Every structure is written in structure tokens, then in C-alpha cells.
Structure 1
Amino acid sequence: MLSAKSAETVRATLPAVGAAIGQITETFYAKMFAAHPELLRDLFNRGNQNAGLQKQALAGSIATFATYLVDRPDTRPDVMLSRIAHKHASLGVTREQYPIVHKYLFEAIVEILGEAVTPDVAEAWDEVYWLMANALITLEERLYAETQVLAGDVWRQWTVTGRVAETADCTTFRLTPADGAPAPAFKPGQYVSVQVELPDGARQIRQYSLTGAPAAAERTITVKRVHGPSAGGPDGEVSNHLHSQVEVGDTLRVSAPYGDLVLRDTEAPLLLASAGIGCTPMLSMLEHLSESEHTAPVTVLHADRSPAEHALRDDHRALALKLTDATVRFWYEADAEPGDSEGLMDLADTPVAPGTQAYLCGPLPFMRAVREQLLAKGVPAADIHYEVFGPDLWLAAA
């Protein structure tokens, strides 16, 4: 909780900071990467930096946290903090890196806001930063303890034991620990980070959902190739490297499993809605539901450009139909087959049982649209869970 003095100052200066937060974060990253180029080379996603996505996500998280502190002093945005902490843990972020961020973030604040940053303003926003930073440090160190690794030491060598082309742009890689030790446990819906060395020497990291059964001896990830810079998206340098360079017998540097879009054991009806490569965490959830003999209703929904582009399509349907009470519906923008629907996902004639727990994964516009439809059908906001691939722009775009 902010001190009373700082809360008053933050409340008074939040409009000015909020209006300039985009400039502040842009200046912050420029300063930090100039002083620590290894962070951009080996930790931060260069594609997201080039597209400005990480800047938007950071701006949104700072503004949201500060707003909570002054408007809801007895609460904090735990969902946002948890999502950030899981991402940080998958990258091996440690408490020693937070003072680096603090240094360059506050240099940027002073540079952009100038004389408006009085000692009282600096002290108040310093308190905001360390409240957020210490909350994340605590969460991240708890995650390291849960996965039984030393803080930041999340990496392990895995051998590629299989490779299957699922579609023209999606490939599944089967992995086993290179040291022969058992694969670490994971929860249905979680992801791993994969770090690869690129031709320029950079060791870039990306996250991929685990698609197999949590109890399986091996792990599987399905990687969608991104064809060059897309509008507002990363440049796909890691996905292209995996597709073109990684074969059976090669080794990959893979993190322990993290991610907070985790299927909870429940007797409630479930709804799993995905689009594009967002189907991958849903397959792990379906595997778990089948193994645990889940008997409550499960509604499985997916949207894609066409059946040919729906990665793991046969598995997606087959796993759902193994359940006792499952409804499956797929939407395709083109080439819909008999039994499937045409166009974008529309839940107008999809029954949603009372008490449904919903899980969403896919592009942000898709999840926003589905969430709105679920809210209109009476599903409480607290029962709608989501996963964003890449920086979480949900709050930044709000």
C-alpha cells in the first residue's frame, strides 16, 4: 500500500505520467539497451521491441498498477502481476535485474517530464516502482521454488526426438531431456521458453505452449512460422530458425514450465475457445480432462482461416470427443467443411451452461470479441481466463 503522502502525489501526477508514459517507456528502453546491449540480444524479444509491443505492454502495466494503488488501495492487480511473474520466470529474470530497470526508467521519467519531477514526485513514483517490483520478485522466487530451480536457473538441454509438419506453417517438435532425467511436471495450459542462437550470435527466447499430456515422458511444442514482420507483430526470427534449422537429434535450450492459464480441477462446465495457434494450450487441457475422466460438460470452440491452417485439427476434435459430455464446433473463414461453421466465431446459438468456467487463447481482438459474447450470456468476468501469446496488450489497449 502506498503511503498517504505518496498516494496524494501519485493521484495528482498520474494524468501527466499517463499522458507521457509512451515516451517514457520508449526512452527507457533506448537508454537501458544502450548501456546493456546484452539484454536486447539475449533476453528481450527483438521483434516485439521493433514493433513497439513491449513498450505498450510496459506502459499499460505501470499505469494499471499505479491506478490500483490510488483508486483501490486495499487491492492490487494480482492477475496482471501473476502473468508478468510467470513470463519473467520463464526467462530467468532475477531480483538483481530490477535495480537496472529502476535506474533507466527513472532517468527516462526525469528526461521526459523535466522540472515536473520534484523530489516529492520522484519519491512517490519510486515507491510505486518498488511496490510493483517487490511484488513481482516475491512471486517469481515462489515460482522458482515451486519448479525446484535456483532463481533464474531455469534452463536445461532437451533433445529433439521427433518432428512433424502439422500444416504448411506449423511444426510439432517432440522433446526429451538430454541428460536422461525425468521430464519436469507441468500443468495443463502452461508453456516453456525456448532459446536459440541466431546467425548474428544473439540468443533469442520465445514461449511455446506444451501440447501433450502433463504425465507424458516427453514434451511437445507446436511452432507456427511467422513470415517476416507483420502489422504490429514480431518478426518471427526464432520460429523461422526452428522450422529451417532444427532437426531430429539436435538439442534445444528449454526452460522449466510456467504460465498462469492453468486448467483448474473442477466439476463445473468448461468452455475452451481458441483461434489460430491458440489451440495449443487447449490440447494439453483436453488431454488432462480425458486422463482425469472429467464428466461435466465441455464446449470446445475454435476459429481459423481454413481447415488446412488449423494446426492439430484432427487431434483437437478427437481429444474433445473422448470426453463423456463434449460439444465441438469449428469456424473457418474459408473452405469450411460439412459440420463446420463459416466466418468468425459467433456464440449466438452456442448454449453456455450456468457456472461455466471459460478459457480463451488467440489473438487479442478474437479474445475481446469472445469475452464480450460470454459476458452477454451471463458468464462472470472472474470466470473468463485468457492467455496472450507475446506481450499482454489487453490492459494497454483498454
Structure 2
Amino acid sequence: MTLSPATTEIIRATLPAVGAAIEEIASVFYPKMFAAHPELERDLFNRGNQSQGEQQKALAGSIAAFAALQVGPDAGRTDMIMSRIAHKHVSLGITPDQYKIVHEHLFAAIVEVLGEAVTAEVAAAWDEVYWLMANTLIRMEEGLYAEAGLAPGDVWRTVTVARRVLQSADTVSFILASPDGSPLPDYLPGQYISVQIPMADGARQIRQYSLVGAPTASDWQISVKSVVGGEMSNHLYRNVFEGDEISVSHPAGDLVLEEGAAPLLLVSAGIGCTPMIGMLNHLADTADARAISVVHADRSPAQHAHRAELTELVQRLPAAAMHRWYEDLGANTGVDNVNSGRADLSALEIADGTQVYLCGPMPFMLSVRETLLAREIPAASIHYEVFGPDSWAGAR
């Protein structure tokens, strides 16, 4: 399904004005929606991202990017953006009726910000864009729910914390099991789950965490880093222990390790190592023989979560090599492939056909992507995961 020719021309003509105002539109839209539906702010949206303005930036990027792609089609890029959003929505239990709520308050915000510029024709054209995007997502989400054997929105289950393991001074792993001892569902290497926690003020906040164990294990494992201002991560780090029960979603996520013989480059920074650990667990368990380069950047060896496990997993793989960078190397000098400073991939050997997987802070990933593109690695071969608002969508 595509936009009508008339709508395409209107979108092409108005995209610069709408794009320039989209962050202001978003800043008006969210208060309007939350005033009418306070349960969405309390129980669904990330309050930290809202307070910092990050969610508004993500909305701006996704809407503007989708509209731009409709007037300059790039099917592969459109599919990438939609797939990422659909998986995130399924991990949150989003249902089709919620798109009507967003539509009502988003278009009220557009009219308020742009005023008389929103003629009937312009409003109808952007309405067509919105519902094209919304219906695309609804269809994709219906498929994901059906594939998982779930009714739309019915993604939550209760699990028990079987073990709590300290991975570094500020990072802890939780091994999660079914309360009745039955195996938890399998997942694909690289996927994540949402964790839903009741907060002290009665709100129920949700965050996503990568699954770091072997995908065919009977339990699930996530790792949580305590960070300044991290409402959920700090709560989990400080308050959740063995025997506690928490609510989690069915696995989701489209940063999934592709099977085959293509060489792999796994690049991470900080707690972004977690999806890579999940992929490496799968690769090690299946004795994968392809060439694999593992790159990790961190502040120091002491702050490197899963450091020992990463080393052990790379050693189990016959054709894997690891390269690490630490901003503060400390006394760890003279160790092979351990470097001081920020990660530099400009001289790293990368074979033709390599598939790249990235996870870490957005500035880190964008910098790595720029280096890889400069080395003529195809953009389609660079896959990424980001937890929180996704500003990658607007990057070229």
C-alpha cells in the first residue's frame, strides 16, 4: 500500500515545514494525550525519556523519516524502521485501539502548532500518511502476536528470580524461571524482554532488557546496569532478589543473529554487550565455525560487565577474535588486543560480506556506523539495537 499521487505531492511540498516543526508538535502532543489518558504516562511510557525530551525526538525522527520515505521510496529502509517499532510495540502489549488515541491528539497538536497552514487538503494528506504508517504497524504487530501464539496485548507473564549474579560493581544479572518450573519459551539470539515493575507512586514502568543466556535454555537471563537517574534500572538493582516475582513480556526484537556462513562483527559498548552475549552463547553452543570478530568498548576493565564470560565464549569459538578498548586501562597494559582509549575500527580487518551487529550508546553506534560506511561496508549489512528512543531512524 502506498500514498495516492495527490497526497504524495502535498507531502513533498509540506514536508520541510512539518519536519521543521515536528519536535514542537510532539511537545504539544504528549501533554494533550497524557491529560486525556494519564494511564499511558503512568503505566506505558518511559517517564525518564519524557522528562528529558528524548521521546519527542524519537517521534520526530520516526514520523519525519516515514513521510520522507513515502515521497522518495526506500522499501528496505521503511521495513527496517517499521519492524523495529512493531517489535517494540509488541513487547509493550500495544493494541490497535491505541493508534486511534495517538491520532486524535497528534493531529490536534499539528493544528495547534501550524495553524492556518493546515488546510483541509494538507490535513487529509498527513492523515493518510499517519494511517498508512499505523496500519502497516498494526498488520506487522498482528503477525508477531500470531507467531508467538498470543492474543494482541496479552504478552505478560510472571517469573521468579531464581538467581542474582553480580557482573560488575554496577551491573547485576537476574536468572528468571517459571514459577511452576516449566520451561520458558525459546527466543532468538539477540532478542529482549520487557520488564514491568510497580513503582512507589503506584505507576507501572516498563523497560526492555536483552536476553543474555543460551536461547534454548529453560530459563531467561537479563542484565541490569544501575545508572544515575535510571528509575527502573536502579529499582531492579537495589530491590529485586532471589525468590521475588516480576512481570515480563514475551521475547521480541528484530536484532536477530542471521544463520549462515557470513563473517560476523559484533560491536558493543558498556551494557550494550548484552545482546552480543546472547548471540555468542548461541554461536558457542552450536559450535559455529565462521569468522567472528568481537569488539567491545568500556570505561575500564572493572566496569566491563560480563567480561569473564565474554572471554570464555570467544575462546570456545574456533574462528573468533576479540578486541577491547578501555578509556581507563589501568595496569592492564601489554595484553593482546586490549587497547587504551575509545574504540577505533578504522584499521580492523573486516572480510567481504561481513554482517555487523551494534549495541551501545547512540553516539557510539553512529560513530561506528560512520567508520564502517567510510570503509564501504554496505548500510544494509549494519544492524543495531537501541533501548530507549531511537534517533538512528533519521540518520542517513
Tell me what 2:387 maps to: 389
2:134 counterpart SS class: helix
Contact preservation (8 Å) 1:191, 1:208:
yes
CA distance in 2, matches of 1:305, 1:193: 27
Tell me what 2:177 maps to: 176
CA distance in 2, matches of 1:156, 1:178: 10
Superposition deviation, residue 73 in structure 1: 7.8
Query: Structure 2 vs 1, CA of residues 356 and 76 (structure 1 numbering), >3 Å: closer, same or farther?
Result: closer
Q: Does 1:238 align with 2:232?
A: yes
Paired-residue identity, %: 59
Query: Structure 2 vs 1, CA of residues 316 and 75 (structure 1 numbering), >3 Å: closer, same or farther?
Result: closer
String of CA shifts for 1:243-274, please: whole Å, max 9, x gaps: 11111000010000001110010101111010
Tell me what 2:210 maps to: 209
String of CA shifts for 1:117-148, please: whole Å, max 9, x gaps: 11111111100000000000011111111111
Superposition deviation, residue 109 in structure 1: 0.6
Superposition deviation, residue 377 in structure 1: 2.6
CA distance in 2, matches of 1:60, 1:52: 13
Contact preservation (8 Å) 1:159, 1:252:
yes
Which residue, 355, 358, 370 being the options, matches 1:357? 355
Superposition deviation, residue 226 in structure 1: 1.4
Tell me what 1:93 maps to: 94
One-letter amino acid of the counterpart of residue 150, structure 1: A
Alignment of 1:1-398 (within 5 A): 1-72=2-73, 77-228=78-229, 236-336=230-330, 337=332, 338-339=334-335, 340-396=338-394
String of CA shifts for 1:141-161, please: whole Å, max 9, x gaps: 111111111100000000000
CA distance in 1, matches of 2:278, 2:156: 22
For normalisation by structure 1, the TM-score amounts to 0.96
Structure 1 gap segments, 5+ residues each: 229-235
**Any runs of at least 4 consecutive aligned residues in structure 1 with deviations exceeding 4 A, and if so which?**
73-76
One-letter amino acid of the counterpart of residue 205, structure 1: I
One-letter amino acid of the counterpart of residue 369, structure 2: R
1:100 counterpart SS class: helix
Contact preservation (8 Å) 2:186, 2:217:
no
CA distance in 1, matches of 2:9, 2:77: 17
Superposition deviation, residue 71 in structure 1: 1.8
Contact preservation (8 Å) 2:270, 2:360:
yes
Contact preservation (8 Å) 2:42, 2:203:
yes
Superposition deviation, residue 301 in structure 1: 0.6
2:393 counterpart SS class: coil
Contact preservation (8 Å) 2:160, 2:176:
yes
Q: CA RMSD in A?
A: 1.3
Superposition deviation, residue 278 in structure 1: 0.3
CA distance in 1, matches of 2:369, 2:141: 28
CA distance in 1, matches of 2:371, 2:11: 36
Contact preservation (8 Å) 1:56, 1:396:
no
CA distance in 2, matches of 1:297, 1:165: 31
For normalisation by structure 2, the TM-score amounts to 0.96
String of CA shifts for 1:329-374, please: whole Å, max 9, x gaps: 1100002513210000112332111111111110111111211222
CA distance in 1, matches of 2:307, 2:67: 43
Aligned length: 391
Contact preservation (8 Å) 1:333, 1:343:
yes
Superposition deviation, residue 376 in structure 1: 2.6
Structure 2 gap segments, 5+ residues each: none
Contact preservation (8 Å) 2:265, 2:294:
yes
CA distance in 2, matches of 1:86, 1:373: 28
Superposition deviation, residue 213 in structure 1: 0.2
Mean Cα displacement is larger for which, 91-100 or 371-380?
371-380
One-letter amino acid of the counterpart of residue 378, structure 2: P
One-letter amino acid of the counterpart of residue 56, structure 1: K
Contact preservation (8 Å) 1:213, 1:288:
yes
Contact preservation (8 Å) 2:329, 2:339:
no
One-letter amino acid of the counterpart of residue 138, structure 2: I
CA distance in 2, matches of 1:98, 1:226: 32
CA distance in 1, matches of 2:74, 2:123: 20
Superposition deviation, residue 75 in structure 1: 6.9
Superposition deviation, residue 74 in structure 1: 6.7
CA distance in 2, matches of 1:127, 1:159: 45
One-letter amino acid of the counterpart of residue 175, structure 2: R
Mean Cα displacement is larger for which, 70-79 or 249-258?
70-79
